Chains A and B, each alone.
Chain A
Amino acid sequence: MPILDRNSLDALFDVLKRRGFNLVGPTVHDGAIVYDALASTADLPVGWTDEQEGGRYRLKKRDDEALFGYVVGPQSWKKFLFRPAVRLWQARRDGDGLRMIPENEAPPKWAFIGVRSCELHAIAVQDKVFIGGPAPDPSYRAQREDLFVIAVNCGQAGGTCFCVSMNTGPKATAGYDLVLTEILEPAQTPDGAGRHYFVAEAGTERGAEVLRGVPQTEATGAEKAAAERIVEMTAAQMGRTLDTTDIKNLLYRNFEHPRWDEVATRCLTCANCTMVCPTCFCSTVEDVADLAGEHAERWRKWDSCFTMDFSFVHGGTVRSSVKSRYRQWMTHKLATWIDQFGTSGCVGCGRCITWCPVGIDITEEARVIRETGK
């Protein structure tokens, strides 16, 4: 198992760039850690961490130079794979007929840097939705095709994290080309800096090949043990827990429950939870045409089950009450998803809790229903 030092990480970025990958990963922007283009490791949130609670997110300086010393921010990798707005096709009038013009997307060759275990699971969930069926979505597939993933095992848990409950982390177990565990040893002298290195492991042959191009040393037993200890400590720090025992039937049994009315008095139906959720896949379409009526396009855009329009059928909206919309979202995420795709729609990343403006907590809602329901 190789060890990369801080400089080797830049060498790793260079190897990927030479192979034609576009590097994207965490970077600080507008007071949050978001995913954007990375030129070098200096673009990473060096020395930053985050504090998260229900309805609260703050960046804070760390007292070290950690590159991955925070958890997940408001964005997820779905913004690259299932993009917020994508043109599906164009059409032209062709005499009396239509001429359809498909989109021919060149695969962008993404390299995702710093993907957490919960997010690897979220990508696997969206893979099932978009490319797991008989008619795969061409746009998602094009973005996904050459994807190179560098995962990072979480060195700490956030206040709203519950991946341990969802069995989705904090240790990355599949779905990556390379996985890193960042280790920051305490300084030996009061004014010195501690050792800073990464324990690396390849998950694919392609990952192993990339890794071979980077300066490295072989990990000692102590270094391997340090990496193991870090994920164990993270697992013990989860800010939230969610009891998933028979959760599908629990929610099916409690489709009628006073708690849905109660949560409806707090929920603003703002749709934040669905936007930040790394698995939410709902979309709408928009048709546009030029003024001459010669050229038309169809776009797909992210949509949310929290809007009134979402379930509109001529004559009215099926889910007009706030209660019914929150219930739809949470029941889908934790229960009906299992029937639809054979997996939970929740990966325990905690984003919906952090980014809810009123701090509604899916783990709390599920707990109350379990304690008071049928």
Chain B
Amino acid sequence: MNPWIPCPAEVIEKRREALRVYTLRLRIRDEAARRAFRFRPGQFNMLYVFGVGEVPISIVSDPDESGFLDHTIRVVGKVSEALVGLNKGDAVGIRGPYGSGWPLEEARGMDVVIVTGGLGCAPVVSVINYVVHRRDRYGRLKIFHGVKTPKDLLYRARFRAWQRHPDTEVYLTVDHPDRQWKYKVGVVTNLFREVRIDARKSMAMMCGPEIMMRNTARDLLAQGLPADRIHLSLERNMKCAIGFCGHCQFGPRFICKDGPVLRYDRIRDWFGIGEA
């Protein structure tokens, strides 16, 4: 098996999520490879656009739905631009799945606390959907989401839909509200002043700007949540996803192999340092 070679796939559906954000539903062409593909929420694929390049994109579809893989892509560069320019029937290459997943087995029976910020929260969409579709396995689902302005709130409809599920709480906040904004104002960590989490039986998972995750970890610890029940998904430059290229190093860890989901107690010494 040559780990460098992408597996040919095709776009079978393209959905617009927000401005310059699309979800591509992909199907691996080879049936045996398609059936053999197994992943856990939180893992990612390297998606290749013919002649353009390859980027890491997290898988947001449900691991039990077979036959296709969903990837939500925000345009941030040349390859993501080319990816969202693809249409139904177009070819892509897939290598994966790579990396660690969210601790969904360890979280069984616990409350699941999701904290996200900024624009790129695709990695937690997978875990929210996973919990929503397996409601009996988990306690309460608490989603905290912060963005700069109301127009940065990408998945408004989705948040509304999640909120209607039983035992699910959604807390939205913006730094700069407009007149129509009817939720909270301020950084996401302000929410923890009002909303308590049950530190005895919660598992926290977060994704977003590192400064937000640092402050969130601090506040969750202050509420008594042990550091080994805080998980976060990190993003780094990545060329190979298989531990060869060296780009994704974060202290002794390779984000491609040891991450992207990391347990806070294992990285806290590095996480506080700028430019690590």
Contacts and interface: CB of A to CB of B under 8 A. Distances in A.
Interface string A234-268: 00000000000000000010011000000000000
B210 to A, nearest CB: 9
Given A298-B4, A324-B275, A281 B244 contact: yes
Contacts of A99: 8
B93 A100 contact: yes
Interface stretch (A28-36, A198-206, A288-296): A288-296
B254 A340 contact: yes
Interface stretch (A1-9, A160-168, A169-177, A311-319): A311-319
A296 B92 CA distance: 13
Ranked nearest first, the 6 interchain pairs of A and B with the lowest CB-CB distance are: A289-B51, A282-B246, A324-B275, A314-B76, A339-B252, A296-B51
B238 to A, nearest CB: 9
**Among A88, A318, A335, A336, residue most surrounded by chain B Cβ atoms (within 10 Å):** A318
Contacts of B247: 282, 284, 303, 310-311
A282 B245 contact: yes
B10 interface: yes
A271 B163 CA distance: 52
Interface in B46-93: 50-54, 76-77, 89-93
13 contacts: A88-B4, A89-B2, A129-B244, A137-B4, A252-B269, A255-B276, A256-B273, A281-B246, A282-B245, A289-B52, A300-B4, A303-B246, A303-B247
A229 interface: no
Contacts of A221: none
B271 to A, nearest CB: 12
Nearest to B75: A314
B93 A336 contact: no
B5 interface: yes
A319 B6 CA distance: 29
A318 B251 contact: no
Given A293-B51, A336-B249, A339-B252, A311 B237 contact: yes
Contacts, number: 120
Given A303-B246, A321-B275, A339-B252, A293 B1 contact: no
B187 to A, nearest CB: 18
Contacts of B245: 282-285, 303
B14 to A, nearest CB: 15
B109 interface: no
B246 A283 contact: yes
Given A89-B2, A97-B8, A99-B8, A287 B249 contact: no
A130 B237 contact: no
Interface residues of A, number: 51
- Of A129, A287, A320, most buried by chain B (CB within 10 Å of CB) is A287
Given A96-B10, A284-B245, A91 B93 contact: yes
Contacts of A91: 50-51, 93
B243 interface: yes
A305 interface: yes
Given A313-B235, A336-B249, A340-B252, A285 B244 contact: no
A122 to B, nearest CB: 16
A332 interface: yes
Interface in B29-61: 29, 50-54
Contacts of B50: 91, 93, 98, 289, 293, 296
Interface string B249-276: 1011010000000000000010001111
B260 to A, nearest CB: 12
A320 B275 contact: yes
A97 B12 CA distance: 13
A288 B90 contact: no
Nearest to B251: A336
A93 B10 CA distance: 13
A311 B245 CA distance: 11
Given A98-B91, A138-B2, A285 B240 contact: yes
A190 interface: no
Contact of A130 (B1, B51, B53, B244): B244
Contacts of A340: 252, 254
Q: For B77, B236, B242, B276, which residue has the most chain A Cβ atoms within 10 angstroms?
A: B276
Contact of B8 (A98, A137, A255, A315): A98
A98 B254 contact: no
Contacts of A328: 249, 276
Nearest to A281: B246
B239 interface: yes
A83 B36 CA distance: 33
Contacts of A283: 239-240, 244-246
Contacts of B251: 336
Interface centre among B3, B54, B237, B246 (most CB of A within 10 A): B246
A102 interface: yes
A133 interface: yes
A135 interface: yes
Interface centre among A100, A138, A289, A335 (most CB of B within 10 A): A100
A91 B53 CA distance: 12
Q: Chain B CB within 10 Å — which of A283, A293, A321, A323 has the most?
A: A283
